[in-house]
């Protein structure tokens, strides 16, 4: 059992930035679905949709693209993740935060709905290989995040910070359990009530480092009792 804190990061749109994977997905949808205009749809503001992947899904369905084709196109796009065909970048300061979290004894978790396709290579390309204690793929958020939190609770982890770009998937389950949440990105969600919010992760580092210092200090004090 452990009472150390845990910080949970989402992958796409949080750890891995840039529209490279989205455009690779859009191009694959166009090629496999025999349609056009999918990539251009990314430039149209869509406040009712979750993220860029949701934009592509909606545009594809409007053009009659089937779910099977969407799945095949998505997997094709993941096969080039982190390559020149689907470039990604990490937020400035991410490697430093992960290093600080590890040195402080926090459990560092990457939890993504994406399959285990080139995730390790992508983390290497982002300069954060080895930055996570656990990498959990195909999570099935939000329900899968609930299950992950259940598992952490059985390990004695009660102080959780979750960082992501989709409120209902990445953060709401943690919020309901009294954990700390940080929402990043430009997609609006009127139901979102995060503890921290900013368009980019670097704008939140001061707050997140403060949480890390407080939570790990509390964990150390509790362990000493």
Q: What is the pLDDT of residue 225?
A: 44
pLDDT at 219: 59
The pLDDT of residue 1 is: 46
37-42, long-range: CB < 8 A, 24+ apart: 37/63, 38/63
Angstrom distance (rounded) from CA 28 to CA 5 = 40
Which of helix, strand or coil describes residue 181? strand
Q: What are phi and psi of 198, to 5 degrees?
A: -165, 155
Beta strands in the chain (DSSP E): 6-9, 107-111, 134-136, 160-164, 180-184, 196-198
β-strand pairing of 6-9 with 134-136: unpaired
CB-CB contact of 115 with 78 (8 Å): yes
Pairing between β-strand 6-9 and β-strand 107-111 as defined by DSSP bridges: parallel
- How far is the C-alpha of 176 from the C-alpha of 103, rounded, in Å? 28
Neighbours of 214 (CB within 10 A): 13
C-alpha separations of 117 from 15, 49, 123, 139, 168 in Å: 16, 25, 12, 13, 24
The pLDDT tens digits along the chain (225 residues) read 457 899 999 999 999 999 999 999 999 999 999 999 999 999 887 777 888 899 999 999 999 999 999 999 999 999 999 999 999 999 999 999 999 999 999 999 999 999 999 999 999 999 999 999 999 999 999 999 999 999 999 999 979 999 999 999 999 999 999 999 999 998 768 889 999 999 999 999 999 999 999 998 765 545 544
**What's the pLDDT at 220?**
53
* CB-side neighbour CA atoms (13 Å) of 219: 22
**How far is CA 115 from its chain centroid?**
13
Task: Give the number of other Cβ atoms within 10 Å of residue 198's Cβ.
Answer: 15
- Burial (CB < 10 A; 0-12, 13-18, 19+), residue 156, is exposed
pTM of the predicted structure, to 2 decimals: 0.92
């Amino acid at each position: 059992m452990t009472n150390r804190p845990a910080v949970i990061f989402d992958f796409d749109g949080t750890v891995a930035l840039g529209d490279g994977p989205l455009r690779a997905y859009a191009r694959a949808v166009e090629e496999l679905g025999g349609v056009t205009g999918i990539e251009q749809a990314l430039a149209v503001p869509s406040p009712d949709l979750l993220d860029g992947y949701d934009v592509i899904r909606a545009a594809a369905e409007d053009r009659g693209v089937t779910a099977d084709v969407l799945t095949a196109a998505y997997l094709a796009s993941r096969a080039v993740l982190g390559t020149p065909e689907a470039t990604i970048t990490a937020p400035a300061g991410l490697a430093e935060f992960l290093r600080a979290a590890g040195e402080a004894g926090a459990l560092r978790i990457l939890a993504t709905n994406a399959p285990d396709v080139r995730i390790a290579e992508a983390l290497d390309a982002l300069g954060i290989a080895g930055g996570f204690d656990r990498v959990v793929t195909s999570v099935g958020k939000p329900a899968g995040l609930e299950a992950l939190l259940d598992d952490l609770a059985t390990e004695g982890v009660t102080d959780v910070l979750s960082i992501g770009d989709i409120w209902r998937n990445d953060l709401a389950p943690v919020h309901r359990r009294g954990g700390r949440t940080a929402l990043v990105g430009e997609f609006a969600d009127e139901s979102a009530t995060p503890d921290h919010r900013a368009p980019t992760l670097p704008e939140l580092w001061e707050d997140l480092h403060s949480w890390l210092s407080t939570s790990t200090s509390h964990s150390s004090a509790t362990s000493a009792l």
